[in-house]
Amino acid sequence: MIDHLNSVNKTLKFKSVYSDAFTTYGKVISAIDFTALIAAIEKTAMPEQGNRYVAHDDTCYASVQQAHLDELFGEMPVQVGYVNGYNSKLNALEYHKSSEVNVAITDLVLLLGKVQAIEHNQYHSNQVEAFFVPAGTAIEVYGTTLHFAPCKVEDSGFKCAVILPLGTNVADRKGSGVGEESKLLFKTNKWLLAHPEHKALIEQGAHQGILGENIEVYYK
């Protein structure tokens, strides 16, 4: 799949989450069996269009052993949800002051960057790297990693589990106004930079902070 993606995307080069290049952004989780979580999310519906993000789902939460959740987040309370959809563009980049755990239910691509590269609340998309995540793979995405919705690699779209500290992405925030970074606070534990093309996010109050191309992932 990576060779195919590289052949149909002329400027974007794809790497595997199993490669050394990914270690800057996160790590593959191989010691935990997420079979039951994958089965639960496989049963969830796809949206008619766009993406559907569910921050917490009781069935998904119950499908992961509590000991494993405790191990992943140091016994902090967590939420287990998912995002399903048809996205193929960068559109925005977010980060949390915590890691995020993703489990790819289908094959998908993540477009990633580094928080350290943000300058005066702006980030250029030419610094983004593309990583292919095979179905069934679980990864930890570090708190210093810029990310957003996965990108599909097939017409049927993508499905992905999302595990985060409880309360993340839930409530709208406007920031304290103290310090430059506060302008990026969009929801609880969610700092966000939007691309100018994503008018809907900007209209909701997201900071317009991504310069350059709104990267698109092609798969055919």
* 172 burial type by CB count under 10 A (0-12 exposed, 13-18 middle, 19+ buried): exposed
pLDDT tens readout for residues 15-64: 999 999 999 999 999 999 999 999 999 999 999 999 999 999 999 999 99
pLDDT tens readout for residues 174-210: 877 789 999 999 999 999 999 999 999 999 999 999 9
pTM of the model: 0.97
Residue 123: CB atoms within 10 A of its CB come to 22
Tokens at residue 195, please?
Answer: 């691309």
The one-letter amino acid at 121 = N
pLDDT tens readout for residues 103-147: 999 999 999 999 999 999 999 999 999 999 999 999 999 999 999
* Domains of the chain, earliest start first: 2-167 (2.60.120.10)
Q: What is the pLDDT of residue 107?
A: 98
Name the CA dihedral angle for 71, 79, 50, 216, rounded to a multiple of 10 degrees: -30
Roughly how many angstroms between the first and final C-alpha of the chain, as a whole number?
A: 11
* Bridge partner residues of 119 (DSSP): 122
Residue 23, SS3?
helix
